[in-house]
Chains A and B, each alone.
Chain A
Amino acid sequence: MLTKRIIPCLDVTAGRVVKGTSFTELRDAGDPVELAAFYYQQDADELVFLDIGATPEGRKTMVEVIEKVAEQVFIPLTVGGGLRSTRDMKLMLESGADKITINTAAVLNPKLISEGAKKFGSQCIVLAIDAKRVNSNGAPRWEVCTHGGRKPTGIDAVEWAKKAIELGAGEVLLTSWDADGHRSGYDLELTRIMSESLPVPVIASGGAGNLEHLYQALVVGKADAALAASIFHYRNYSIRQAKDYLAERGIPVRR
C-alpha cells in the first residue's frame, strides 16, 4: 500500500533556512545542508527547498546547497523559487534535484509547464499554488496568488490546477495563503476539494502546528502528503514522532 508522505520544507534565503508568518516576518531556522541531513536521518520521505529570495545570487547559493545535500541525502529533493525557464530547471536537476516546483512563472507563462514536462517528464514538474480564500456567499472559492503570495490574480485555484495538470504537471504542492505560518491547521476544505478533483498527488501545505493537523490533512483533507516547516525546524516534534502518531491512528507511513 502506498504510504502517506511527510515532507519538511526548507525556505532558504542567503544560504540560511528561514520561516515566516503569511509569507512575512522571517526568523532564522538553521543551515540547510545540516537540517536536510538531520531530516534524512529521521526518515523524512522527501525534502522541499524553496528559494524565497529568488534572486540570481540566491539561485547560485541554492545550487551549492542542493549539490551538498544530494551527496548525503538519498530521498527525493524538490527545488523551487524563481525558476523561470527550462534552463533554470535543468540547472537544478543537474545539481541533484529530482523535481522542480514552479509557481508565479507558471501563472505568467503556462507553456513553461508543458515545456518542462516534455523535456524532463511530468514526474519532475510540481505545480505550486498559493491559494487565498475568497469571500463569497455561495460555494467556497480560492484564488491563486503569485509573487510569494503578495499578488492576488483572480484566477480560480482549482481550475488552474486542472489546467496545469493537462499541460503536464505531475504533482500539486498546495499552500493555503490564509493558514500558512499560523500553526492552527491546514485549510482542510481547500485540501479536500483539490485532492478529490485532481488526478495527480496533492501535497498539503500551510498551517501545521501540531501532529493532529498532519493527521487531518491526510484524512479529512485526503492529501497524499503533508508538508510542514516550523514544527520540525524548531523541534516541536520530530519526523519520527509525527510518523508514530500517524501510524498509531491507522495511517500507512514509512518507518
Chain B
Amino acid sequence: MIAIIDYGAGNLRSVTNAMVKLRYQPKVTREPEDVRNAAAVIFPGVGAAADAMQSLKESGLDEAIREVIRQGQPLFAICVGMQVLMSSTEEGGWNECLGVIPGTVRKLPAGLKVPHIGWNQVKQLVRHPIFDDIPDESNFYFVHSYYAEPEDSTVVAGTTEYGVTLCSVLIKNNLVATQFHPEKSGTIGLKMYDNFLKMAGAKE
C-alpha cells in the first residue's frame, strides 16, 4: 500500500491524482497504523509548518513518521512536509519540528519577492535513481516562503537558487524530500514520483 498522509494540511487531491495517473492506487489516511504498514509513504504539506506540527502531534502521526523513517521505509516528503522533518523552524517565532534531519527552517532573504512562486531549476548534486530520466537543471514548481537548511551537507541532493542556494532535494537512505511540488511540475514531476515508487518497489 502507498499511504498519503492526511493531517488536514495539504493539497492531497493533486498528489492522489498524480499517483493515479502513474497507475498506482494510493490510500489517503489519517491512521498511524496505515502509515506504519505502508510500502511507501507520501508526506505532503502546504500552509504553515507550526500548524502542520500541531496536527501531526494531535493525531499521533508524528511518532509514526519518525518510526517509518528510522526503520528505513521509503518516504517522500513534499514542501512543508520536508520542512517539518527538520529540528526547528523560524516560522511563527520559533517552533520545534520532527527532528528527523538536524537543521533549521529559515525565512527566504528579503529583497526578492516572497513567496518564491514559480518554476525554478534544480541542480543535481548526486547520481541517484530519483533523478532517472530527469535532466540536470530541470524546472520544478516552487511555492514557499521558508526553506530547510540541513546541518549535514551530505543529505543535500539538489539545490536551487533564489537569493540563497537552497536545498531543494534532500535524500537520506530511503527518505526523499523536495521543497518543490512534483505533482505540480508537469511530466517531469510525475517522473520523479514514478522513480520514487519504483525504488520503493510499490508497483501493485
* Residue from the set A171, A201, A254 with the largest chain B CB neighbour count within 10 Å: A254
Could you tell me the distance in whole angstroms from the C-beta of A89 to the nearest C-beta in chain B?
Answer: 13
Bits for A35-50, please: 1 = Cβ < 8 Å to B, else 0: 0000010010100000
Complex: how many Å from CA A43 to CA B188?
Answer: 11
Query: A123–B46 contact, CB under 8 A?
Result: yes
Q: Whose C-beta in chain B lies nearest to the C-beta of A202?
A: B113
B13, CB-defined interface residue at 8 Å: yes
Query: B117–A170 contact, CB under 8 A?
Result: yes
Query: A2–B13 contact, CB under 8 A?
Result: no
Query: B17–A71 contact, CB under 8 A?
Result: yes
Complex: how many Å from CA A1 to CA B144?
Answer: 15
A199-B114 CB under 8 A given contacts A45-B119, A75-B141: yes
Stretch at the interface among A92-100, A145-153, A155-163, A182-190: A92-100
A224-B117 CB under 8 A given contacts A74-B184, A98-B11, A123-B144: yes
A110, CB-defined interface residue at 8 Å: no
* Residue from the set A74, A124, A201 with the largest chain B CB neighbour count within 10 Å: A74
* Number of cross-chain contacts by CB at 8 Å: 88
| Candidates B47, B113, B187; contact of A74 at CB < 8 Å | B187
Complex: how many Å from CA A121 to CA B184?
Answer: 17
Complex: how many Å from CA A121 to CA B142?
Answer: 14
B125, CB-defined interface residue at 8 Å: no
Q: Whose C-beta in chain B lies nearest to the C-beta of A124?
A: B46
Could you tell me the distance in whole angstroms from the C-beta of B16 to the nearest C-beta in chain A?
Answer: 10
Complex: how many Å from CA A224 to CA B162?
Answer: 14
B27: chain A residues at CB < 8 Å are none
Query: A3–B13 contact, CB under 8 A?
Result: no
A5, CB-defined interface residue at 8 Å: yes
A70-B113 CB under 8 A given contacts A3-B118, A123-B144: no
Category for how many chain A residues contact B: 20 to 34
Query: B117–A201 contact, CB under 8 A?
Result: yes
Q: Whose C-beta in chain A lies nearest to the C-beta of B143?
A: A123
Complex: how many Å from CA A4 to CA B143?
Answer: 14
Q: Whose C-beta in chain B lies nearest to the C-beta of A203?
A: B117
B117: chain A residues at CB < 8 Å are 123, 170-171, 201, 224
What secondary structure prevails in chain A residues at the interface with B?
loop
Query: A224–B118 contact, CB under 8 A?
Result: yes
A9, CB-defined interface residue at 8 Å: no
B100, CB-defined interface residue at 8 Å: no
Complex: how many Å from CA A171 to CA B142?
Answer: 14
A200, CB-defined interface residue at 8 Å: yes
Complex: how many Å from CA A224 to CA B17?
Answer: 28
A200: chain B residues at CB < 8 Å are 113-115
Could you tell me the distance in whole angstroms from the C-beta of B157 to the nearest C-beta in chain A?
Answer: 20
A122-B113 CB under 8 A given contacts A3-B119, A74-B18: no
Query: B17–A70 contact, CB under 8 A?
Result: yes
B21: chain A residues at CB < 8 Å are 71-72, 74
B95, CB-defined interface residue at 8 Å: no
**What residues make up the interface of A, taking CB atoms closer than 8 Å to B?**
1-5, 40, 43, 45, 70-72, 74-76, 93-96, 98, 120-124, 170-171, 199-201, 224-225, 254
List 25 A–B pairs whose Cβ atoms lie within 8 Å, in order of A's numbering.
A2-B118, A2-B120, A2-B142, A5-B118, A70-B13, A70-B17, A71-B17, A74-B17, A74-B184, A75-B184, A76-B143, A76-B184, A93-B11, A95-B13, A96-B13, A98-B11, A120-B47, A122-B115, A122-B145, A123-B117, A199-B113, A200-B113, A201-B115, A224-B118, A254-B139
